[in-house]
Amino acid sequence: MSRRDLRERGDDASVAFDKPAKKGLGQHFLHERGVIDKMLLAIDPKPGERFVEIGPGQGALTFPLLDRHGALTAIEFDRDLLEPLRAAATAHGALTLIHADVMDVDFGALAAGEAFRLVGNLPYNLSSPILFHALAYAASIRDMHFMLQKEVVDRMAAPPGSKVYGRLSVMLQAYCDVTALFKVPPGAFRPPPKVDSAVVRLVPKAPTRIGIDDPARFEAVVRAAFGQRRKTLRNALSGVCDAEIIAAAGIDPQDRAERLAVADFVRLANVSAQSSAQSSAHASATDATPIR
C-alpha cells in the first residue's frame, strides 16, 4: 500500500517534514498510527503530569501527546528539525523545545524538584548511554517509556538464568521495575530499521527498595561479574572481592554471574563495601598507634 493510500486510510501518521532521515542520528520516524496509539495507551498521560520527550523527530509521538496533554518539553539534537517542529506544534499545544544532545541535559535541573515522565523513540545507537544517563537522575523521573531495539529490551527485562541476562539487566532492574510491553516491526518506521523494535516501561524504585549502600561498588561488582561471564564468580571477581566475601554474602563462589538474582548482587556489593570500610578503619587505627 502506498504512503498516500495509508494517509487516506488514516493509518499513516507521518508529517510531511520533507527532510531526509539522518542515519548518523538514528532517525527512523514512526509512522504507523496503530503503534503510536498503543504507545499512548501504555503511557496513559494524566492531567497535571509533566512530560519530557527525547528526540521528537518529526513529531510522531510529540503531537498526539500534545493533543492529549496540552504541554510537553522535548529535547532534539537535529537543528534542521527545530523550526518545522515548532511550526507544526502550534496546532497541537505548547511545545518547549530544547536544542541539545540529551547526554548533556541535566535532568535534575530540568525537573526542578518536580519529577517528570520521560518518553522517547530513542536513537538506537545511543540506547545504553541514554538509559544510564537517565538512571543517574532516577529521583527526578517518575517513569520512562522508550522504543528501543527489541534485542536491547530483551536484555533489559531478562530474568536470571536467561542467555541475555547481563550487566544491563542487573543495573536497570536494581534501580527500576522494568516491563517489556510490546514488539514493533520495522515497517512501522520510515526508513525501516534492520531490526525489530519494542516498547519498554521503567519505573524508578523508591530508595528504600533499592538497598544499595555504595553505588560505585555495586557497579564495579556487576561489571566484573559479567566481564567474564563464563568464569566462576571467584575468578571473575578476583581484584574486586575475594571468595570469603562472596561466601559471606551467602553466595557460592563457584557459581556464575548469570545465575545470580539482582538481590544477590546487591547483598554481595553491600558485604564487600562493609568489609572494605572495616579494613580501612582497621588500617587507620593501626596507623594511629604511636611509635615508641
Binding residues (CB under 6 A) for ligand SAM: these are 25-30, 54-58, 60-61, 75-78, 101-103, 121, 123, 126
- Least CB distance from residue 147 to ligand SAM, whole Å? 7
- Taking the complex as a whole, how short is the minimal distance between the CB of residue 233 and ligand SAM, in angstroms? 36
Q: Where are the beta strands (DSSP E) in 43-133?
A: 51-54, 71-76, 94-99, 116-121
Residue closer to ligand SAM (CB basis): 65 or 172: 65
Enter the C-alpha cell of residue 228: 567474564
Rg value, the chain, Cα = 23
Helix (H) or strand (E) holding 267: helix 262-288
| Closer to ligand SAM by Cβ: residue 27 or 169 | 27
Residue 149 vs 173, nearer CB to ligand SAM: 149
Tell me whether residue 130 or residue 168 sits nearer to ligand SAM (CB atom).
Answer: 130
Min separation Cβ 172 and ligand SAM, Å: 20
CA distance 196 to 198: 7
Closest C-alpha among 190, 184, 200, 260 to residue 229: 260
Please list the residues that pair with 190 across neighbouring strands: 29
Taking the least distance from each CB to ligand SAM, the nearer of 102 and 236 is 102
The cell for 106 is 541535566
Cβ 26 to ligand SAM shortest distance, Å: 5
Smallest separation, CB 13 to ligand SAM (Å)? 9
The three three-digit cell numbers of residue 244, written as one number? 570469603
